[in-house]
Amino acid sequence: MAKKKTAEAVIKVQDLTKTFVIGERQERKLFVLRGVNLQIQRGEILAIVGASGAGKSTLLHIVGTLDRPTSGKVFFDETDVFAMNDDQVSKFRNQQIGFVFQFHHLLPEFTAFENVAMPALILGKSISQARDKAKELLAQVGLQDKSESKPTQLSGGEQQRVAVARALMNSPRVILADEPSGNLDTESAHQLHELIWKLSRDYDQTFAVVTHNEALAKSADRIVRIQDGVIQTTSR
Spatial distance between the Cα atoms of 10 and 41, rounded to a whole number of angstroms: 6
Tell me the per-residue pLDDT of 11-43, one tens digit each, with 9 for 90 and over. 999 999 999 887 766 667 888 899 999 999 998
Domains of the chain, each with CATH number or no CATH:
44-69+86-235 (3.40.50.300)
Structural contact between residues 12 and 75, judged by C-beta atoms closer than 8 angstroms: yes
Nearest by Cα to 220 from 230, 209, 212, 232? 209
pTM passes above 0.75: yes
The amino acid present at 228, given as its one-letter code, is: D
Instruction: Give the chain's end-to-end CA distance (angstroms, integer).
Output: 16
Tell me the per-residue pLDDT of 179-209, one tens digit each, with 9 for 90 and over. 887 777 888 888 888 888 888 888 888 999 9
Structural contact between residues 208 and 174, judged by C-beta atoms closer than 8 angstroms: yes
- DSSP summary character for residue 221: S
Tell me the per-residue pLDDT of 44-88, one tens digit each, with 9 for 90 and over. 999 999 888 888 889 999 999 999 999 999 999 889 999 999 999
